[in-house]
Every structure is written in C-alpha cells, then in structure tokens.
Amino acid sequence: MTNEIQIAHTKLGGNNPLFIIAGPCVIESEDIVFSAAKRLKEICSSIGLPLLFKSSYDKANRTSISSFRGPGLEKGLRVLSDLRSRFDIPVISDVHSVEEVKIASEVLDAIQIPAFLCRQTDIILAASKTMKPVNIKKGQFLAPWDVRNILDKFISTGNRNVFITERGTSFGYNNLVVDFRGIPVMRSFGYPVIFDVTHSLQLPGGMGKSSGGQREFAEPLARAAAAVHIDGLFMEVHPEPDRALCDGPNMIKLDELENLLKTVKAIHELTKPT
C-alpha cells in the first residue's frame, strides 16, 4: 500500500479511490479551460472519482521555437486561481525553474515537475520545501528503480507529500513504450504512482516541428494501468483535440472521457488488493 497524500479536500494513495488528474495540456483561453473544468467536475462527480485539474501556464519544452507556450506565469496562475474558486476544484501546473516554485506554490494546490527536470536537484528541493504535494513525472530516460534517488532527494527536507507519474520510456526514434512492470516497482517505494495515459501516447518530435500522438490507444493503456492497480490516472483532455494548440494528437476528446473513466474505475475496483 502507498502513502496517503492530502490534496485540498481529496486524498491520493492508500486505500482511496482512483485519482484523476485531467485538463487541457496548456491554457489556451479562459473559455476552454473553464468549460473543460465544468465538464470534468460533472463527469468525475457522477462517477465518484476525485479530480485534480491540470493545465500548464507555460510549456517550456516545446519542440519548436514557434510553438505555442501558453499565457505565462502571471496570467496563467490568475486563470487557475479563478478556475479553482469558481468550480471548487484543486489545481496543479508545471514549474520550470527554482524561481517559479515559490510564486506558483502560493496559488497551486499541488506542484508538478516535468519529466525533463525530474533529476534537477535544486528544483526538486525547492518544490519539496514548500511542503505542498508534488507530482514528479518520471523522465523518459529513467528506469523505474532510478526513481528511488528522486524520492530520496525530495523527502530529505521532511516533506513526504510526493507522488510519481509514469509517462512512457524512450523507444527508438520519435516513439515511447510503456513497461507496466515499472508500476509495481515504483509503488514498492511507498509513494503513490500515477499513470500518464496521454503523454505515453506521444510520438516526441514525430511531426518535425511538433509531437505526434496515437490517442486511439488511450483506452487500452488506461485499462492496463487500472489492472495493475495504479493510484491514479493523468489524462490531458480537450473539447476539440484536433484544433488544440499543444499535444492535440494524443489528447482525449472530452466527450469520450466519461465512458473511459467508468471502465477503468470498474477494473480498478475489481483488482483492488485484498
């Protein structure tokens, strides 16, 4: 069993229900994130799953210099703060530097460290020292057992409110693969593990100046993760993924999410350890 973490009024890990982290990849506009948040809350409330809303105020690791990055720190945090107040949903977003951490922590209910920064000691320690819950996304370049070193860095400050997200491993050129053996390995360290459904479907840089994706495989991967009893699922969703400004090819269409969540919840409950 994994450690239990309190995020606002919801709990992650332990014997708690499957935890959902979802939202559009990046804040494109207030209308898009607000409408997505409203619908996500309706869906998760009706199914009985806790929700943590995710959308990035800045995508600092886009493939191309011309790629859309988002509204930036100040405006993006204001949007997320307004969203949390309006819909009573906890929020999480990426931080990309030590300098951002304190500012973001004053608004966010949980902080996310992107996969490419998962070994950066200074940003891990800065995030940990806020005493906030922190999601560290496992780099595509790491083996599951390497996560132990990340956790040791994080908990060295006394903060144990950390969870890890699996998002696939680099497999040749412009491709990722998910090795589900890694889930129980990482959970054995005692902290909640999330499976990132949509980023695991990325084809990094696969479209030349942007990443491609294979959203048609979202359901089988989500079902597989639920079967190995993951603590939560991370899914980026969008009302119209084909028109999204970031990660459209691997995002799930919002209208298709409800049936998927009903399925994975049933599998998760069926496979719950006794």
With bands split at pLDDT 50, 70 and 90, how would you rate the model's confidence at 207? low
Angle of the 73-87 helix axis to the 98-105 helix axis, nearest 10: 30
> Which pLDDT score, from 0 to 100, does residue 158 have?
98
> Which pLDDT score, from 0 to 100, does residue 203 have?
76
- Report the alpha-carbon distance of residue 61 to residue 105 in Å, rounded: 21
Q: Which region among 38-52, 82-96, 199-213, 218-232 has the lowest average model confidence (pLDDT)?
A: 199-213
First to last CA, the chain: 11
pLDDT tens per residue across span 22-77? 999 999 999 999 999 999 999 999 999 999 999 999 988 877 888 889 999 999 99
> Which pLDDT score, from 0 to 100, does residue 206 have?
61
- Report the alpha-carbon distance of residue 123 to residue 109 in Å, rounded: 17
Lookup result for tokens 């959203």: 215
With bands split at pLDDT 50, 70 and 90, how would you rate the model's confidence at 269? very high
pTM: 0.95
- Report the alpha-carbon distance of residue 274 to residue 93 in Å, rounded: 34
With bands split at pLDDT 50, 70 and 90, how would you rate the model's confidence at 4? very high
pLDDT tens per residue across span 130-180? 999 999 999 999 999 999 999 999 999 999 999 999 999 999 888 999 999
* Averaged pLDDT for residues 3-20: 95
With bands split at pLDDT 50, 70 and 90, how would you rate the model's confidence at 209? low
Average pLDDT along the chain: 94
The DSSP result for 162-221, as a single string, is EEEEE--EE-SSS-EE--TTHHHHHHTTTS-EEEETTGGGEETTTTSSS-EE-GGGHHHH
Q: In the chain, pLDDT over 90 holds for what percent of residues?
A: 82
> Which pLDDT score, from 0 to 100, does residue 71 have?
94
Residue range 5-270 forms a domain whose CATH class is alpha beta
